């Protein structure tokens, strides 16, 4: 035992040598199997064409394709942006998918393109650029709802609020001159439309081609005469030979003819129309046949009117437009 303790380091060194020898023999045995696991590349004969490895060529092609299509650019904001949805009929709807329109008749894309708040139920009644035209009117006209210089034509803001029919305040009294069966002169007087017996002015005598005048006697006793757009053009006999003929007046402006019967109040074909500019609420009264202007627009002529609508003509372009009666129509409402 004492001998082992004395030569312990020698025994330990001998044991280590044996272990290393055994490991070396093991490695030699394993190396003999390498040719079976790995096939060495074939040796190229002198002068043979070089053939690249297919996998390497495919790798290079994939790398080039990746570098060509995946170009990163700097961008602000988060990469995690959700699509936009709206709660409609109790469910979430992607506003850019399908044919469901938030406001019937208005494409969702138009709302998005013009940066409008489509969650606002009164969106189509709003006026973002404060030019007096609603989003609905801008859409219908194809104009920009965010640009005050882009808006529908001003005449589109006119509405008919009242139409007042009037009577002609003149009356044909009698024929005063007749030669060869042709009436050449008539008597006409200014009257109160409500009472044909109430004469306002002196009796006037008119020959063919004369312009009719409104003759009114002032409280001071002075008579004032105001020309009308009518002139006396002819008389037409009735079938009854014993009756006074009718006389025909013609409007100088539009050529329209009016027939007058003796001592009868005749309705005027030119009612007075009250037009309202819905941009500012201003109203103006225009008689059919008269010219008028619209703020920020051209000059027009009121050419016809009924209780439901009026027709105006642009005196520069000759275009005719229809003005509707004022109603309380509401804009299309969004789906809930």
15 vs 304, higher pLDDT: 304
pLDDT in tens, 37-52: 656 656 656 665 666 6
- The β-bridge partners of 322 are 311
Share above pLDDT 70 across residues of the chain, in percent, rounded to a whole number: 75
Cβ atoms of 118 and 128 closer than 8 Å: no
Q: What is the model's pLDDT at position 207?
A: 92
At 74, is the pLDDT very low, low, confident or very high (cuts 50, 70, 90)? Answer: low
83 vs 315, higher pLDDT: 315
Mean pLDDT of 175-201: 78
Mean pLDDT of 283-292: 92
Return the residue matching tokens 């030979």.
241
Cα(144)–Cα(86) distance, integer angstroms: 24
Which region among 17-31, 76-90, 321-335 has the lowest average model confidence (pLDDT)? Answer: 76-90
Q: Give SS3 for 8.
A: helix
At 10, is the pLDDT very low, low, confident or very high (cuts 50, 70, 90)? Answer: confident
Single out the residue of 175, 166, 165 nearest to residue 261, CA to CA. 175
Q: 176-195 burial string, b = 16+ CB within 10 Å, else e?
A: eeeeeeebbbbbbbbbebee
Mean pLDDT of 189-205: 82
In sequence order, what E strands does the chain have?
85-88, 91-94, 158-164, 170-179, 182-192, 195-199, 204-207, 211-217, 223-236, 246-251, 257-260, 272-277, 282-287, 291-293, 299-305, 309-314, 320-324
Mean pLDDT of 73-78: 55
Q: Is 154 exposed, middle or buried (0-12, 13-18, 19+ CB in 10 A)?
A: middle
Residue 274 in this model has a pLDDT that exceeds 80? yes
CB atoms within 10 A of CB 110: 16
- Residues whose CB is less than 8 angstroms from the CB of residue 107 and which lie 6 or more positions away in sequence, other chains included: 101
Q: What is the model's pLDDT at position 135?
A: 92
Mean pLDDT of 2-22: 71
Domain spans, the chain? 85-151, 159-164+271-324, 170-260
Q: What angle do CA 86, 91, 94 make, to 5 degrees?
A: 40
Residue 256 in this model has a pLDDT that exceeds 60? yes
Mean pLDDT rounded to a whole number for the chain: 80
Residue 220 in this model has a pLDDT that exceeds 80? yes
Mean pLDDT of 308-319: 93
Mean pLDDT of 155-179: 86
Cα(335)–Cα(101) distance, integer angstroms: 8
pTM of the model: 0.57
């Amino acid at each position: 035992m004492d001998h082992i303790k004395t030569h312990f380091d020698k025994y330990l060194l001998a044991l280590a040598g044996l272990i290393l020898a055994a490991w070396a023999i093991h490695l030699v045995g394993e190396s003999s199997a390498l040719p079976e696991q790995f096939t060495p590349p074939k040796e190229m004969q002198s002068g043979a064409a070089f053939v690249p490895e297919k996998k390497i060529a495919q790798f290079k092609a994939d790398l080039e394709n990746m570098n060509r299509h995946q170009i990163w650019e700097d961008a602000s904001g988060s990469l995690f942006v959700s699509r936009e949805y709206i709660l409609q009929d109790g469910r979430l709807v992607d506003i850019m998918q399908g044919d469901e329109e938030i406001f019937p008749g208005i494409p969702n894309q138009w709302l998005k393109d013009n940066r409008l708040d489509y969650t606002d139920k009164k969106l189509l009644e709003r006026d973002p650029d404060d030019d007096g035209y609603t989003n609905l009117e801008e859409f219908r006209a194809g104009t920009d709802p965010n640009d005050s210089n882009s808006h529908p034509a001003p005449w589109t803001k006119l509405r008919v609020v009242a139409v007042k029919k009037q009577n002609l305040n003149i009356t044909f009294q009698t024929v005063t001159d007749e030669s060869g069966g042709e009436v050449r002169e008539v008597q006409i007087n200014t009257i109160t439309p409500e009472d044909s017996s109430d004469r306002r002015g002196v009796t006037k005598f008119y020959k063919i081609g004369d312009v009719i005048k409104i003759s009114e006697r002032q409280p001071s006793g002075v008579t004032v005469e105001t020309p009308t757009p009518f002139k006396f053009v002819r008389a037409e006999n009735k079938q009854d030979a014993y009756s006074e003929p009718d006389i025909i007046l013609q409007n100088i402006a539009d050529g329209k003819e009016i027939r007058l019967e003796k001592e009868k109040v005749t309705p005027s074909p030119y009612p007075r129309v009250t037009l309202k500019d819905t941009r500012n609420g201003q109203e103006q009264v225009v008689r059919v046949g008269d010219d008028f202007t619209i703020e920020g627009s051209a000059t027009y002529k009121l050419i016809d009117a009924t209780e439901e609508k009026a027709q105006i003509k642009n005196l520069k372009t000759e275009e005719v437009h229809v003005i509707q009666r004022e109603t309380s129509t509401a804009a299309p409402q969004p789906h809930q």
